[in-house]
Amino acid sequence: MTKELELLGSYKLVLGLEVHVQLMTEQKMFCGCSADIWQAEPNTHVCPVCLGLPGALPVPNFEAIRKAQLFGLALNCTLNQNSRFDRKHYFYPDLPKGYQISQYKQPFCENGHLDLLSGNVADIERLHLEEDVAKSLHEGGKTLVDYNKSSIPLAEIVTAPTFKTLDDAVDYCKQLQNIARSLGISNADMEKGQMRLEANISLRTADMEARNELPKYKVEVKNINSFRFMEKAVLAEVVRQRELLEKGETPKQENRGYNEATGKTVLQRSKEEANDYRYFPEPDIPPMFFDEVYINELKSLLPELPQQMKDRLVRDFGLTKEVAHALVDLGGKDLAEKFEAIVKKGNEGRKVANTLLNKKETLEMTVDQVDEMLKKSSEVINDSAAISAAVEKAISANPKAVEDFKAGKQNAVQFLVGQVMRETQGKAAPDVTRGLIVAALEKKSAQQL
Ligand SMILES: [Zn+2]
């Protein structure tokens, strides 16, 4: 159950997210400095470009662009053929140039979406690439600046005000994290700052929601660095904004930060409009053009994505959507791969999933150890006659699977194995079951010829 419902009273949540993901590249975004800065001595990965010295010229890192575009494709975005970098001006002690190279009118990717577990769809407006800023360290009353992080490539993914519940927002963020990991473009580790969130939060009445009307304000909560933190910040804002609205006031459009000690958000600054940033095209980097051949080649490089993997686990192993979600989105790529490896050893899918998700000790066990444990624990039915009955039942209840088999779809066999397993509570010996199903299907196909 999503946590904000009671706090909302009669209001509805309107939530949009801006997520920054640090891309894993060899070099920084606009210079040749090594981007491998984790735990490096301060100011050891710097050059005139990332220090923002006058006259230093940026050269875009093609590896970062390609990874950002792959990310966009995986989020079902359209890749823009014409794209360019822009300067976004603002004063920041960590930004010596006085502007950040980002993208404004022509980002690399636009108009994507992600399907959420709840059945809702997250509407993604854009994915653009920008450079990170340096890092201030406050020590003994002094502020020191470390430029190692300056110009590390960041993909920023911006959603519409698309989330109606906190659960949807958390699901979206976890999916984003898993997609980045599946693509090998980022570890998206929030503790290491490789993934950071900003949440745009406002409330509206049920009538406004029915009319699809957005509130006239939004509050941006900055620098959220964990899912737990996001939940707390959103809940705190829900309470604060509801109280203002109930007094007949409209919350101000502003940036706030979450204070963990007080459990409340605090004002940081009033919110800028886009025109405050004085965006203009970056004059030192020419506009870019990507042709169809390039875009198609990128598409062919996409690996199996978490959504596709979940669909496949549901289809081939008879898992429920929730179990597939728990394995792939919550457990991550490693757990999903472990699941498949154990199933390949002749174990029934749902049973393997159940074991991996409910028996914590299996997290530490190897594939072979879990396999052994499963085989020991199950009283396998090897008796052909007993299994045959279940096979006949599964085949007569699923004529479509028979058609699929005739059409050469091997998935049909796996599907029927799943049905027999359900019938026998996972006790039928998988090899025997498979053999009996194939024999029965072949017999049926021959009869109908
Ligand atoms: Zn540099």
Domains and CATH numbers, the chain: 5-300 (no CATH), 304-377 (no CATH), 379-449 (1.10.10.410)
CA of 97 to the centre of ligand 1 (A): 13
pTM assigned to the model? 0.78
CA–centroid distance, residue 386 to ligand 1 (Å): 70
Q: Residue 51: which of 133, 113, 117 has the closest Cα?
A: 133
Q: Calculate how far, in angstroms, residue 282's C-alpha sits from the geometric centre of ligand 1.
A: 18
Cα distance from N-terminal residue to C-terminal residue, the chain: 53
CA–centroid distance, 46 to ligand 1, in Å, is 4
Centre a 10 Å sphere on the Cβ of residue 189 and count the other Cβ atoms it contains: 14
Q: Give pLDDT, residue 328.
A: 87
**φ, ψ for residue 93 (rounded to 5)?**
-60, -25
Residue 393 CA to ligand 1 center (angstroms) comes to 67
Measured distance CA(205)–CA(285) in Å, rounded: 46
Q: Which amino acid appears at position 244 of this protein?
A: L
User: Are the CB atoms for 157 and 127 separated by under 8 Å?
Assistant: yes
CA 80 from centre of chain:
21
User: In Å, how far from its chain's centre is CA 56?
Assistant: 36
* Span from the CA of 71 to the centroid of ligand 1 (angstroms): 24
Q: How far is the CA of 110 from the centre of ligand 1 (A)?
A: 29
Tokens of 445: 């196909």
Which residues in the chain land under pLDDT 70? 1, 270-274, 378-382, 448-449
